[in-house]
């Protein structure tokens, strides 16, 4: 594990550094939060310098790693392709990204800097199969999956996926590229006997068979179409999990993105969609969080709001060296149960969203909450009993 942050967190005059793409909105939002907290601007370390072996760190610096996305030159170095909308190439991206963050971690450690994101944990968070296994072993509820764990069978293409979907409860499944993000390369697949297959996806296939991300969710209605995409994705690695029926809000499927900072759930947003993918950039819309809280409390038992946040905190606890994660929480029909779909290393991009009541982050955005947690420096996280009291 990488060194943990200083026990008392950054103070005015103490150095902060952020590894990111300097012109990117994520870096700008973080710098805005730094300024609002009365801290000196974070020193910006460009991903291009990290990938070029030119990054340097300073003793005592607290280093945040930001997403390398949304920069064509960085994407080209990581993926080896000029078109950032291409879906293929995630295995190469993953190999180069994890190698870069491990080298970054060694450089920071040698300089006496403290990382907020553990490189080994990032490697797990960016492999859906590994992440699913870690959560499952920790008894965090997750959708059943035949592709995680040491005994998982290889998934070489559609024939293997079709065989896996013949298992109990797997007639409807999500097929995901192992190292994808933002619903890239995701197919929600339904089968109903020989030759009867349909899928919902944002993947677009051109005449040459190349795959591209699209902002338009489309329906594939033949097994031939589904097989062609799955076969093209398989070399990058596939994760298959049961498609759990979700709760609904206003007639649309609903789930939640919950941000956990320093072990504490601080922010939550409801995402609703008429498609199985609720990602906001794919046409999903923010839902009513208060209505979700009320529905979860009315459901009682394992579906209470306090229990939902506890599940997210348990998921985050599987990655103790990572200061902040975004947890995708899947509510069952009727809001009676919850499961974790994914844990995202860079899942805090929720502009304008302020903290949950009783979270200690009221009035703060996700970046401000992270800075406040660092300044609090190892304050004991609130227990489940206290969470239950303040949620009422």
Structure tokens at 181: 């993000």
pLDDT reported for residue 277: 86
Please provide the average confidence, as pLDDT, over all residues in the chain. Answer: 90
Output the pLDDT for position 301. Answer: 66
Residue 390: its pLDDT value, please? 28
Of 1, 237, 255, the C-alpha closest to 129 is 237
65-69, 146-150, 329-333, 348-352: least confident range: 146-150
- The Cα 179–Cα 44 span in angstroms is 26
Query: Between 3.20.20.70, 3.90.1150.10, 2.60.120.260, 3.30.470.20, what CATH number should domain 246-391 receive?
Result: 3.30.470.20
The 10s digit of each residue's pLDDT in 152-187 is: 888 999 999 999 999 999 999 999 999 988 888 899
Cβ pair 153, 162 in contact under 8 A = no
Report d(CA 360, CA 148) in Å as an integer: 36
Please state the rounded mean pLDDT for residues 298-319. 91
The CA distance from 42 to 167, in Å, is 51
Domain 16-124 is found in CATH 3.40.50: yes
The answer, yes or no, to whether residue 98 has pLDDT greater than 70, is yes
Please report where in the chains the tokens 């329906």 appear, as a residue: 219
The whole-number pLDDT of residue 319 equals 98
The number of beta carbons lying within 10 Å of the beta carbon of residue 139 is 8
Q: Burial, 87: exposed, middle or buried (Cβ in 10 Å; 0-12, 13-18, 19+)? A: buried
> Residue ranges of the domains in the chain?
16-124, 158-242, 246-391
Of 193 and 2, the structure prediction assigns the larger pLDDT to 193
């Amino acid at each position: 594990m990488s060194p943990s942050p200083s026990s008392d967190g950054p103070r005015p005059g103490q150095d902060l550094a952020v590894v990111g793409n300097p012109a990117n909105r994520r870096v700008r939002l973080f710098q805005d939060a730094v300024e609002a907290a009365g801290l000196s601007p974070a020193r910006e370390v460009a991903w291009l310098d990290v990938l070029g072996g030119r990054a340097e760190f300073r003793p005592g610096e607290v280093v945040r790693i930001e997403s390398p996305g949304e920069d064509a030159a960085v994407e080209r170095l990581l993926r080896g392709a000029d078109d950032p909308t291409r879906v293929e190439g995630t295995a190469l991206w993953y190999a180069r990204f994890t190698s870069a963050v491990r080298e970054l971690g060694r450089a920071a450690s040698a300089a006496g800097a403290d990382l907020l994101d553990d490189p080994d944990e990032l490697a797990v968070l960016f492999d859906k199969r590994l992440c699913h296994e870690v959560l499952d072993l920790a008894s965090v509820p997750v959708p059943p999956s035949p592709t995680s764990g040491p005994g998982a069978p290889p998934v070489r293409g559609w024939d293997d996926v079709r065989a896996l979907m013949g298992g109990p409860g797997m007639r409807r499944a999500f097929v995901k590229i192992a190292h994808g993000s933002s619903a890239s390369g995701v197919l929600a697949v339904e089968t109903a006997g020989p030759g009867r297959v349909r899928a919902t996806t944002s993947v677009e296939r051109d005449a040459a068979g190349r795959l591209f991300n699209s902002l338009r969710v489309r329906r594939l209605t033949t097994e031939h179409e589904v097989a062609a995409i799955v076969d093209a994705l398989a070399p990058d690695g596939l994760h298959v999990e049961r498609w759990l029926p979700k709760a609904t809000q206003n007639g649309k499927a609903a789930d939640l993105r919950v941000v956990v900072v320093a072990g504490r759930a601080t922010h939550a947003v409801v995402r609703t969609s008429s498609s199985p993918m609720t990602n906001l950039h794919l046409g999903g819309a923010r839902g009513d969080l208060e209505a979700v809280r009320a529905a979860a409390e009315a459901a009682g038992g394992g579906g209470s709001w306090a229990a939902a946040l506890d599940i997210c905190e348990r998921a985050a606890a599987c990655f103790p060296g990572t200061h902040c994660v975004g947890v995708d929480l899947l509510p069952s029909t009727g809001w009676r149960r919850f499961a974790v779909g994914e844990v995202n290393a860079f899942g805090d991009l929720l502009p304008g969203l302020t903290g949950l009541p009783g979270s200690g982050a009221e009035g703060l955005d996700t970046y401000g909450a992270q800075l406040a947690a660092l300044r609090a420096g190892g304050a004991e996280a609130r227990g489940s009993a206290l969470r239950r009291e303040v949620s009422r």
